[in-house]
Amino acid sequence: MIRLLFALLSLVALPFAHAANDLTVPMKAVRVGAHSYFVQGLPGAASSENQGFMSNAGFVVTRDGVVVFDALASPPLAEKLLGLIRSITPLPIRRVVVSHYHADHFYGLQVFKAQGAEIWAHRAAEGATRTENAALRLAQRKEVLFPWVDDGTRLLEADHFVDDDAEFEMGGLHFALRHVGPAHSREDLAMLVREDGVLYAGDVVFRGRVPFVGDADTRGWIAALDKLIALHPRVLVPGHGAPSRTPRADLVFTRDYLAYLRARMGEAARALVPFDEAYEKTDWSKYRDMPAFNEANRVNAYDQYLRLEAEETGE
C-alpha cells in the first residue's frame, strides 16, 4: 500500500519535476565583444514550439563576476542560460539588469536570484509584478508554456531601482545604463558596455523589420533612439533578432519609421481625414517589403492615428 501511494505521488509530481529537464529548444552563447555575449531567441510569439524562447538575453564577464541583461521567459530557459554562462566562467552572477517587465524578459529572474544576483530595473517598473495585468499574463503563460511556466514561477521585483540614467563599474569594466522610456514600455532600460562598445537595447530596437508600435508613445520612442545613437555603439543587441554591427543604421531606420508614422497619421488626424482614407493615401513603399509589414504596419498606423487624435483634442 505504501509503495502504491508513493508511486501515485510520483506520477502527480512528474509534470512539475520534469519542467527544467524537458526543455529541448536550442540555445547558444554568441560572443559579440571581448567580454560580452548574447543568446538569440527564436521568431514568433511564445508557444509550445519555441518553449517561450522568443527574446534575446545577454551577459558580460568581468574579472569580479558576471552582469546579465534580461532573464528570458521562464525559469528553465534561465537555467539553460546559466549553464551556458557556467561553460564560460565559474565567476558569480553579481547583477541582472532588466530591460523591461514584459514576460519574455524577466520570468527567469528567480534562477539568478538563487545564485545571489542583485536585480536592477528602472523605477517606472516598481510594482509591475503586482498588477492585475501581471496576474493575467502569468495565468496565460501557464496555459501556453506549461510545464516551463507553472505554479513555481515567481514574478520578482527589482532589488534596486534606477531613477534615471546610471553608471557603474565592475571588474574593470564600465557600464552605462540609459532610461529610454516611455517607448516600448515606461521602464525601458538599455545597457552599454563601454570597453566593448556593445549596446544591449532591449525592445526599443527592432532590427531589419517593421516594429510593433501599437499605441506606444512615439514621441518618447524617437527621443530614446536619439539617446542611443549618441552612445555610438559598435555592436547593437536588440531585444529580438540578430545583433547589428552597423547599429547606427538600424537605430536610424527605426527612428525614421516612427517619425514618418507619427507625421503622416498626425497630419491626417489634425485634418480630420478618416483613417482608412489616410492609410490608403500614405506612401508606404519604403517599408512595404520589410518583414512584418503586413502584420504590424496597419495596426501601428491605426493605433497612432487614435493616439495622435486624442493628443490634438486633449483627451
Give 199's strand partners.
192, 236
Pick the CATH number of 11-246 from 1.10.10.10, 3.40.630.30, 3.40.50.1370, 3.60.15.10: 3.60.15.10
pLDDT at 313: 67
Ordered mean pLDDT values, 10 residues apiece, the chain (315 residues): 38 39 90 98 88 96 98 98 98 98 97 98 97 97 96 98 96 97 92 98 85 86 94 95 93 93 96 96 95 91 94 67
Buried b (16+ CB within 10 A) or exposed e, 33-57: bebbbbbbbbeeebeeebbbbbbbb
Helix, strand, or coil (residue 60):
strand
Which contiguous run of DSSP H or E holds residue 305? helix 298-313
pLDDT at 134: 97
Read off the DSSP letter of residue 99: S
CA distance linking residue 289 with residue 209, whole number of Å: 9
Q: How crowded is residue 216: how many other Cβ atoms within 10 Å of its Cβ?
A: 22
pLDDT at 210: 85
